[in-house]
Structure 1
Amino acid sequence: MTSASTRTRTTRLPRAERAARTEALLEQLRSCTDEDHREQLRGELVLVNRGVAEAVARRYRGRGLAEDDLAQVAYLGLTKAVARFDPDRGHDLLTFAVPTIRGELTRHFRDHGWAVRPPRRVQELQGRYNRVVDDLHQELGREPTDRDVREALGLSEEEYAEVSGAWGCFTPRSLDQPVGGEDGASLLNLLPDTVAEDPHAVSDARVSLAPVVRSLDERDQRIVFLRFYEDRSQAEIGAELGVSQVQVSRLLSRILERMREELT
C-alpha cells in the first residue's frame, strides 16, 4: 500500500522526472508477463501522473460542480487511460491520457450538470479551444495555461473569459427557490413528492431535470439560468431580455409547465 506521504510526493514531481519515471515504468510494463505485477505497475503510473489529472481538472473549476468531484473524475479518466494504453505502440502516455481525462470530465458535466447551450459564436470558439489545448499540450509537454490558450486563439481577455466560462454547465443554487413570491412555484415542485421529502434525492433530481433543461430553446434556457442560477429577480430578467416583469412571470410559468409535462 502506498503511503499518503509518498502519494503527495509523487504528484509534485518536476516534469522531467515525471516523464523519466513514466518511461521507466512503461519499459517494465512492456517486458512484464505477470498480470499482478502489471497491475501494480499501472497503479504506479497513475500515481506518478496524478498531477497531470489534477491540472486538467483545474481547468474546469467554477462551472457549477465541486472541485473534489472533478479531481476524482480526472483520476478515473487517468486510470482508464493507463489501463487501455498499449506501451508496445511507442506513443506518449500523456498524449493518449489527457484527451481521455477531458472526455471523462465532459461526460461528468453532461450527466450531472445542467447544460446551457451557449451562442453559436461561442460554440464555434469552443471547438477551436479544444483543438488548441490538445495541440499546445503536445507542443509544450504540459497542460497549457489560460494565457497560452488565449494567445494561441488570438482572443482578448474578455472574449476568452466568455468562451471558457460558458464551457460546461450550470447547477441551480437551490431547487426549492420560488419563481415568484413566497408562494411561487419552484423547480422542486416539478418533481415527485418523494424527492421533495428526501434531501438525499436532490442530486438525482438534478440529473432528472438536466435533459429537460437541455430540451428548452436558447431563450428559455437563459431565463432558467438567470432565475435559478444567478438568482435574478423577474424585473432584472425583464430588463436583460427587453420585456416586462409580467411577461417574465408568464414565460416562467410556461417554462415550468412544459418541464412538468416532460417529467410526468
Structure 2
Amino acid sequence: MDVAPTRGEQVRQAADEDAAALLAEYVRTEVDTARRQELRTEVIRAFLPLARNLALRYHGRGEPLDDLVQTATIGLINAVDRFDPGFGIDFVGYAVPTITGEIKRHFRDRTWALRVPRRVQERRSALTRATQFLTHRLERSPTVAELAVELDISEEEVLEALEGARAYHAVSLSTPTAVNQDTELGDTLGQLDDEYERVELHLALGPALAALTEREQKVVSLASTATSPRHRSPRAPASPRCTSAAPCPRRSRSCAPT
C-alpha cells in the first residue's frame, strides 16, 4: 500500500524540481549574458538549503554556525560555476563533495592555532575517531600501540599526531596558573641566563687550558679577571683642572695653567 507524501515532502519535492529546472536552464544559457547571471543567482539561492544542511553536520566543533554556512555557501558557488553535465553525475552529486571539501579546508586553514603539516592535521582527525571507537570498545583509553594497529600506522606516527594535536588550541600567557591565581602562565617561563655562555666557554677552553703550564694558566686567569666587566675597577674621577690665571698654591701636574 502506497503512503501519500506529507505536505512537507511535497513542498520539498517541488523545490527540488524547481531547482533542477533552473539549473538545466542555466547550463543551456549562453555564457556572458545577463540572463545567465540572473539564473546563476537563482540557482545558488535554490540550493542554499543543501549548503546549510552540510554546514550543520560540522556544527559543534568550535566554529560558529554562521561561519560554517558562509564557507558552505562559497563551496556551493564554486560548484555552480564549475559544474558541467559532461561530468556524468547530477549536480547534487558534484556539489556535496565540493561544499564538504570547502568546509574541511576551512577547518584545516583557519581553526589551528599553529600551522602544522596537512598530513598531521588529517591524522589528528583520524586519531580522534579511532580513540573514541577504541575507548567505547575497550571501556578504557587505548594505548599508542593499539591506536597504531587500528589506524595501520607506526607508533611514531601516532605520537607525531598526538603532539601535533596540541597545536589546535593555544593557551594565552596571561592565563592564571592553577597554583596561584595572581600568577600568570607567562611569569613561570624562564629567561635567558648569561651564565650558560660562560659554562659553554669554559667547556670549550678546558682542554686547551689543561695543556698549559701552571704559570701560563695563572697568567690567563689573571688576564681574564682583569678584562672581565664584573671585576673591572671603576675609573677614578678626573682631577679638576685649574682654570685661574693666578698661580696655584699647590703646583702639581694636575693643576697646570691653561
- TM-score scaled to structure 2, two decimals? 0.45
- TM-score scaled to structure 1, two decimals? 0.44
Answer with 1 or 2: which has the greater Rg.
2
Q: Which has the higher contact order (CA 8 A, sep 6+)?
A: 1
Larger helix fraction of residues: 1
